[in-house]
Amino acid sequence: MKPLSTHKLGVWALIAGAIMTLVGLAAGFGFMFAGVDDYAKRFLGLVPLGFLSGFTGVVMTLLGRRD
């Protein structure tokens, strides 16, 4: 079995970061407008983690060799 390349891992990190950011924003603002502040804080707290994961994915994709 061939090990994962840095490029492929970066692509997966970028996709995961985009999904986390989109889910965090959509659910966070949805819960905030519904008045459920506890869930809104948790989901909006997911946005910076998704951004970090996405940025890490971009860097890994640019620095890794495409195989």
Domain of residue 17 covers 6-63
Please tell me the total count of domains within the chain.
1
pLDDT level of residue 64 (50, 70, 90 thresholds): confident
Whether residue 1 lies inside any domain: the answer is no
Mean of pLDDT values over 12-22: 97
Taking the model in full, what pTM does it have? 0.86
Using DSSP, state whether 17 is helix, strand or coil: helix
- 23 contacts 54 by C-beta, under 8 angstroms: no
- 5 contacts 64 by C-beta, under 8 angstroms: yes
Radius of gyration of the CA atoms of the chain, in A:
15
What is the tens place of the pLDDT at every residue in 29-55? 999 999 999 999 999 999 999 999 999
Give, for 44, the enclosing helix (H) or strand (E).
helix 37-44
Mean of pLDDT values over 21-36: 96
